[in-house]
Structure 1
Amino acid sequence: MTITSISQIESELHLLQQEAKIAIAQVTTLAQLEQLRIDYLGKKGKLSQILREMGKLSPQDRPRIGALANEVKEGLQEQLERQRQDLQAAQIQAQLEAETLDVTMPGVGRPLGRIHPLNGTIDRVLDIFVGLGYKVATGPHVETDYYNFEALNTPADHPARDMQDTFYLPDGNLLRTHTSSVQIRYMETHEPPIRIVAPGRVYRRDTVDATHSAVFHQVELLAVDRGLTFNDLKGTIKEFIRQMFGAELPVRFRASYFPFTEPSAEVDVQWQGKWLEVMGCGMVDPNVLKAVGYDPEIYTGFAAGLGVERFAMVLHQIDDIRRLYNSDLRFLRQF
């Protein structure tokens, strides 16, 4: 650009002013507006390029051009600021409109989950035993033969193993057939007195029908202390039955056999006019106490176990154990 007279500089300033005003009025984003400010008012902008020609003017003309240049600059700065404020206000308004909730529209319903009847039964059992002073203990589902059988007085050639045929893994381990293995692990790392309750899933090779499943749930309890007797076991079981069923149901203990308890008994309750087996129990066999390093001449203990599915079926009047696993919402919505 070559400007040689004051009139030419004045003309260029006026043209610059008009051009900039039109451009500023047409921008739609803050980024575009900032780019216009740099193009017209920046150090290398169009206004600076015109003012560089002031050096060719006479000293008496320079103040006049300087005043006009300041007027143009201030005018453009004011327009830039107004446009910036307008664009910011429009941006905020657009954001508010996009995020506005129509409170008159119906909400999106999200149904609340419910506790499965098996989990609810386990929680109910644990609440009772924790209230009686027992601690909850857990253990692995994949067990060794030692913890699942041998430490529980069931060596490899013991016929009782046929009652608990299970699933064996290639490495020789197995899926636990009861939570009694938790009791062994706990006793190995704790000294008497102990009172624990062990809930969990267990596995046995069983034919699935209305009352049997290859996968089911147990809760077992164990107490070891000085001087515990079968009377302590009976009192504990009766109190548990009373709290579980909410009534003083008739209870009977039938002699039975378990390799890890001696003497052993089955627990029946009178339910709807007939006797129903609900638990197995007994005094801990001395060989089991020896396996964990307890002296059976000093300590005695009792243990009991129940099938959670059986209790859930009794409490909720369920006729088929398979209903607990089918995930049929028509069935589960009842609970």
Structure 2
Amino acid sequence: MTDLSKLESANTAIIGSATTVADLETARIEILGKSGNVTLQLKTLGSMSDQERRERGPLVNQLRDRMIEYIARRKAELEAAELDTKLAAERVDLTLPPPPERRGRVHPTMQVLDEMIAIFAEMGFGLAEGPDIEDDFHNFTALNFPPKHPAREMHDTFWLPQDAHGERKVLRTHTSPVQIRTMQRTNEKLPGWIANGQEPPIRVIVPGRTYRSDSDATHTPMFHQMEGLVIDKAIHMGHLKWTLDTFIGRFFETPLVETRFRPHHFPFTEPSAEMDVRCDRSGGDVKIGQGDDWMEIVGCGMVHPNVLRNCGLDPDVWQGFAFGFGIDRLGMLKYGMPDLRDMFASDVRWLEHYGFSAFAAPNPATGLS
């Protein structure tokens, strides 16, 4: 017969030498498993006489119970030790400041739009808006576009399918239709956000999205534009030039603004011009107000008499001027963004680099952050 006291001492040593819960499980199988040394002692009881079984049975069962208890106690010790080690390794120092949270950024287009509105508001301009989906009259006909003008073709313009009345609406190609809606004196019931007709004098800016079938580094199918319209008596090109010179100086934050008009053609203005501004292109950035280069920055002109007539205004009484800026392009020039398409790519990394903090100190030139 096996000496149970020696077996217990050997098993106790095996259990005590286990340093992990996995090692302890191996020891448990060696002692209490199907072929464990204590289990084998229990199996020998069946071959003993009744007298031997009555004497040895209780001793073997007591040994098994002590082994179960010792294994359970050792397991609790090992689990507590492992927990302490894990807590020490994963401890968080609550006295440290939390990691910074990512804050949203103001998109450059929205920043430039706010700057432009603030500057023109100080010059006395109101704000007008209109629908992105326009009819042919407001987008082309009222603005003196002839029937076969290239801008009406599919390769330039996004036309919608015909409606129930056989009319094809268009995604507006410019914000000029709002000029028509502003000059038209009408009692038509329009939503509150659409510019309603008003009596002259008129002085408004019209920001918004516009759409053209074009895509490259400086053009996208959807872009932002701001047009300006002034209608009054005795208005001339000098008023137009002063307005644009003042805006450009304020926007680019420089008193050294030198501009020139070049003759151009727009269906809705006569005379028409493109305004160039003196700049320096010698480095990686375009510097406004210095250097020997010129850069076209805005299209403009005096409102065409036909446009005034289409809106019910007498061109012998009322005159005016109009101009149009690309908001995204102004942002590229002022803040050094090389590719217009990146502005609409929804890349958070780009926005973190070029975006603006909503909590920054106000810009002294515009009063905006």
TM-score (norm 2): 0.60
SS at match of 1:257: strand
Q: Does 1:265 align with 2:273?
A: yes
Q: Does 1:186 align with 2:194?
A: no
Partner of 1:130: 121
Deviation at 1:270, TM superposition (A): 1.8
Q: Which amino acid aligns with 1:243?
A: R
Q: Does 1:288 align with 2:290?
A: no
Q: Bigger CA drift: 115-124 or 244-253?
A: 244-253
Deviation at 1:229, TM superposition (A): 0.5
Q: Which amino acid aligns with 1:185?
A: R
Partner of 1:311: 330
Rounded to whole Å, the distance in 2 between the matches of 1:227 and 1:163 is 39
Asked if structure 2 preserves the Cα contact closer than 8 Å seen for 1:166 and 1:175, the reply is yes
Rounded to whole Å, the distance in 1 between the matches of 2:153 and 2:240 is 27
Asked if structure 2 preserves the Cα contact closer than 8 Å seen for 1:194 and 1:224, the reply is yes
Which ranges in structure 2 are unaligned for 5 or more consecutive residues?
Answer: 1-93, 185-196, 281-290, 355-369
Deviation at 1:164, TM superposition (A): 8.4
Asked if structure 2 preserves the Cα contact closer than 8 Å seen for 1:224 and 1:300, the reply is yes
Rounded to whole Å, the distance in 2 between the matches of 1:182 and 1:193 is 16
Q: Per-residue displacement from partner, 1:271-291 (whole Å, max 9, x unpaired)?
A: 224211110000000000001
Q: Which amino acid aligns with 2:301?
A: G
SS at match of 1:255: strand
Partner of 1:219: 226
Q: Which amino acid aligns with 1:304?
A: F
Aligned residues between the structures? 233
Q: Bigger CA drift: 171-180 or 271-280?
A: 271-280
Which ranges in structure 1 are unaligned for 5 or more consecutive residues?
Answer: 1-102
SS at match of 2:160: coil
Counterparts of 1:1-335 in structure 2 under 5 Å?
A: 110-159=101-150, 161=152, 165-170=156-161, 171=163, 172-188=168-184, 189-206=197-214, 208-247=215-254, 248-272=256-280, 273=291, 274-335=293-354
Rounded to whole Å, the distance in 1 between the matches of 2:153 and 2:116 is 29
Deviation at 1:109, TM superposition (A): 5.1
Asked if structure 1 preserves the Cα contact closer than 8 Å seen for 2:150 and 2:156, the reply is no
Q: Which amino acid aligns with 1:254?
A: R
Deviation at 1:161, TM superposition (A): 3.9
Deviation at 1:187, TM superposition (A): 1.1
Q: Per-residue displacement from partner, 1:182-205 (whole Å, max 9, x unpaired)?
A: 111111110100100000000011
SS at match of 1:334: helix
Deviation at 1:127, TM superposition (A): 0.7
Rounded to whole Å, the distance in 1 between the matches of 2:181 and 2:327 is 22
Rounded to whole Å, the distance in 2 between the matches of 1:257 and 1:163 is 21
Partner of 2:89: none
RMSD across aligned C-alpha pairs, in angstroms?
Answer: 2.0
Deviation at 1:330, TM superposition (A): 2.1
Rounded to whole Å, the distance in 1 between the matches of 2:97 and 2:295 is 51
Deviation at 1:110, TM superposition (A): 3.8
